[in-house]
Amino acid sequence: MSRGSAFAGLAAPGALFRRRLHDYIANERRNLLLVVDWVVALYIVIPFSLLGLRYYYGFWHGEIPAAFEHIPLAALGLVPLVTALASRPILLLEPADAVFLRQQPGWLRGVLGRASTGFVVFQIGKSALILLVLLPFLREVHQLSWGSLAILTVMVWALHSVVGMLLHFAGVFRKEWWKHWAFLLGAVAASGLFIWAMANGMAISGLVTVLFGAAAGILTHKRSVLSHHFEESMAVDLAARLRFTALLLSQSMDKPRLPKQKVRLLRRSGPLLPSFMGKWQTRQVADAALKSALRERGYARMYLQFSSVSLAATLVGPLWVGWIVVPLMLLLFSMWLRGLWLQFAEHAFPPVATMDRVLLDSACGPAVGLQMLPIAFALSACLGVKMFAAWWGALALGLPGAAVGMLLAYMLAAFWQKKEGTA
């Protein structure tokens, strides 16, 4: 491709901005597809999305939990406030622009002005989405009128625009301490004003909305005409663009370990499985798999995250939803544990030390089943308390649920063994 064809159509700041915006969206899309493949979408994204839609439908039809009925309106304002603190404008500046755009002030103002305006416009859709999520609580619990909701939506939009710009300027002026702290204090003041307005009715909210709107207009104009501090602006913009990418990749890529890392759990290699869970050779391999999983970085965090999400999904909503959630969560959890087992079986033994395949297959059930016991008991006990409305429901349904979780692990292990044998 020649130099002329490579830069064809980029004879104006608007064309350059559109090209940069297209490249940024395409890059974020590739990063998202790198992490969320069809397996993740099929087993995690789609089930949890359907479950969330079911709860959202229930919130509109009188299924709001009693604990949420006494939450004050100002507490609900923490949700848009937290999302506002995570907002940053993206200016679409590149390191190669350090020479060209600084020599073309008109182009620089054109790109910055469009990027700043795009950030403010993007906050409209973001604010509407946040209010849409909170809408059942605002309408059913606090009985807000549609006019009040319209004022609240505009105030949330103005809050995102103001706080995002203030935090952006704090990064740009980080070397000028008094400006840096001035913008940070401005963000704190805007957050306090927003919570105060939420707690004092729609009349105060309207005044705060006008104040936020004026501040957002001033800050957006100041950003579009700010031509110095180019290196600082480029660094802040690069950090904002890579934030979503870093969040995605940090959950999918292993971090390098330190050469010397102390083992804080299971330092002594004692037996874990009781004698009735198979022959001693089987128990030894299953013990090794369990200790390898427990010593793995991120295992405990993933276990706790999955357990907390499963318990929350079981607690919230009607009882029949729990009968769907518990088997689904146990199935997904057993598949994750099966993946850990396969990783252990493929990498734990060196090629020179051949391991009997039959012994590995027989150890899969006890290893996965023992890890299934805690979460199966917790979910079944939670469902039992909800079903019988008494503490003894935890034992009445928890113990059979734990046995079912163990049986599920053995059945799936046998199924996968048969499937792999016929493949």
Specify the pLDDT at position 240. Answer: 79
Sorted by where each begins, the domain ranges of the chain are 12-250, 280-422
- DSSP H stretches of helix in 251-318: 280-294, 299-315
Q: Which of 55, 37, 25, 15 is nearest to 324 (CA)?
A: 55
CB 76 within 8 A of CB 134: yes
Determine how many CB atoms are found less than 10 A away from the CB of residue 103.
Answer: 9
Pick from 45-59, 116-130, 220-234, 354-368: least confident? 354-368
pLDDT in tens, 48-57: 777 778 778 8
260 has a pLDDT exceeding 60: no
pLDDT band at 153 (very low <50, low <70, confident <90, very high): very high
3-state secondary structure of 343: helix
**Mean pLDDT score, 211-237:** 83
Specify the pLDDT at position 3. Answer: 43
Give the residue, 275 or 23, on which the prediction is more confident. Answer: 23
CB 369 within 8 A of CB 403: no
Specify the pLDDT at position 4. Answer: 43
Rg value, the chain, Cα: 28
Q: Which of 372, 395, 399, 375 is nearest to 385 (CA)?
A: 395
